[in-house]
């Protein structure tokens, strides 16, 4: 594992911890490194119970990655509606869904070839 891959894994872990800090549910990590033409190394996907929680999870992830790794998202989309917030850290992309919107987009199925790791809910 070269330095870049190790950094991606660390960032991925920090994103998961930031999500857990705000009680995100059904966290899934998709390792895309073995997939040809993948857009990044990892997707980290989670759900929130309300648009307020979805927004809170995004803020928590941003704060956690900045504090612990000095990393900021390169790009953020979806903050206006808080139904699906995408946080692009280049090598790792966080997808924070309002729980009712997640099945519609079904990212886990779209990237079914990826190695999948389900993170147990903390509550």
**pLDDT tens for each residue of 7-36:** 999 999 999 999 999 999 999 999 999 898
52-56, 72-76, 119-123: range with lowest mean pLDDT: 119-123
Whether the pLDDT of residue 1 is over 60: the answer is no
Pairing outcome for strands 42-48 and 75-77: unpaired
In what helix (H) or strand (E) does residue 103 lie, and over which residues does it extend? helix 102-105
**pLDDT tens digits, 84-117:** 999 999 999 999 999 999 999 999 999 999 999 9
Taking alpha carbons only, the member of 21, 15, 7, 37 closest to residue 86 is 15
Name all domains of the chain by residue range, CATH numbers in brackets.
3-119 (3.30.460.10)
Helices 51-69, 3-21: inter-axial angle, 10-degree rounding: 140
Average confidence (pLDDT) over 35-39: 90
Average confidence (pLDDT) over 51-71: 96
pTM: 0.94
């Amino acid at each position: 594992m070269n330095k870049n891959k190790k950094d991606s894994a660390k960032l991925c872990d920090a994103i998961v911890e930031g999500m857990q800090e705000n009680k995100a549910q059904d966290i899934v990590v998709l390792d895309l490194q073995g997939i040809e033409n993948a857009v990044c190394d990892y997707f980290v996907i989670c759900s929130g119970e309300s648009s307020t929680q979805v927004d809170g999870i995004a803020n928590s992830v941003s704060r956690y990655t900045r504090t612990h790794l000095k990393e900021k998202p390169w790009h953020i989309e979806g903050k206006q509606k808080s139904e699906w917030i995408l946080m692009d850290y280049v090598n790792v992309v966080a997808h924070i869904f309002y729980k009712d919107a997640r099945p519609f987009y079904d990212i886990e199925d779209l990237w079914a070839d990826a190695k999948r790791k389900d993170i147990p809910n903390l509550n």
